[in-house]
Amino acid sequence: MTNTRFDLWPAINHPATLQVSRSIASMWSAHNIVHADQEPALAMDLASFAIDQYWDKRFQTDPMELLDHIAAFCSKESEIWREFEWAGLSPLLERIRPTVKVLRFLYESYLPQLQRRFSSCFVVGSLSYGRFYSFRGNEHEKPSDLDLFLVMNEGGFGRADILQPGILEDSIDEPRRLDKFLRGLNERPTDLMNYKLFNSRDGFGVSLTICTEDGLRNILEFGDGEHRSTTLHWNTCLHGRSVRRFDLAGRPYTVRYREGESDFGGTTLTLPVATTEIFKGQQLRRFNGFAEMLTPRFDWTFQSEKVRALILSFVRQIEDISRDFVKVGLTPHICNVHCRHDRFSHQFRDRMASQFNNLNGLT
């Protein structure tokens, strides 16, 4: 194991980045990172996590101003790094810069556009569970998609409402799929659609999972979920292969699903809203993979009162079924259900547990 010695205080106290660097300074100091020998991977993880905490201030201030601060702090050309030597610096900055670019697109132009036709928008995927760390995008890697979960207004939307001419185009997916899905909502109001776009200006994909409020209610209310199903229309085929997911205790199980051809084009994936297992005489419940997309951060950018009520009800249901896991000696955690939970740091898991308790009114 290789340790690296580094001193961050010259960068932290630089006036050009005092805002964001104070947040990073407090995080690193709290974990005895400054003026200490630490494993580089841990140092990078804590640095990214601290910047992520700083970004959460966007609900109290201008998001674009925060992104300016973070971009200045993470510029390799900045004078704050002139006398700073640490082997992990370049990989750290390479991971953060693509995230800043994607968030700038999202908050500067795309969210205001989406708010005209959608009641709620959640960031899911790697930009949610690993904003300033896991988001790929350096010169050696293909950038991750920007993954959004959208809930429609009652008035619906058209294809033009999610595009930006010359910037965001549906050059990946088949436009007729979306048009047919929208026309078929009266007959299938609880179905979901995954539709992919491409940002040709900035070089990354945008993956939209779209549903109505009825569709969201169907996947989140799982009290009688074993008797209901939820269907996603997408362009992927699993060919019957085994799919593994995890319960609240992090124990793997094989997903029950059904595939088919979509009337809209592409394929369908149908899941039971909930499943159960009898363990040591106790019934343990599991919710579906579409609801899992929102966990563990429930990372809303805007949401209606109705959708917020659905989210809070979902959180309370998770708390209820968590008690059943505790009764049989298992340790539930909101992060465990996520298919990428093995990538989560201890700091992130602790923070998500605290946020979950806040949503549940426990703290």
**129 is written with which tokens?**
């569970």
Confidence of residue 23 (pLDDT cuts 50, 70, 90): low
Average pLDDT of the residues in 316-334: 97
- Where b means 16+ CB within 10 Å and e means fewer, 132-164 reads bbbbbbeeeeebbbbbbbbbbeeeebeeeebeb
Look at residue 60 in the predicted model and tell me its pLDDT.
85
- Has residue 43 got a pLDDT over 70? no
- Has residue 76 got a pLDDT over 70? no
Confidence of residue 131 (pLDDT cuts 50, 70, 90): confident
CA–CA distance, 98 with 112 (Å, rounded to integer): 21
- Has residue 12 got a pLDDT over 90? no
Q: CA torsion sign, 362 to 50 to 59 to 343?
A: negative
Of 59-68, 82-91, 248-257, 325-334, the one with minimum mean pLDDT is 82-91
* Cβ burial, residue 69 (10 Å; 0-12/13-18/19+): buried
Q: Dihedral angle at the C-alpha atoms of 89, 95, 97, 98, nearest 10 degrees?
A: 170
Average pLDDT of the residues in 179-204: 95
Return the higher-pLDDT residue of 291 and 361.
Answer: 291
Average pLDDT of the residues in 119-127: 95
* Cβ burial, residue 82 (10 Å; 0-12/13-18/19+): exposed
- Has residue 248 got a pLDDT over 70? yes
- Where b means 16+ CB within 10 Å and e means fewer, 303-325 reads beeebeebbeebbebbbebbebb
Average pLDDT of every residue of the chain: 85
- Has residue 146 got a pLDDT over 50? yes
CA–CA distance, 315 with 301 (Å, rounded to integer): 18
**26 is written with which tokens?**
């407090």
- Has residue 89 got a pLDDT over 80? no
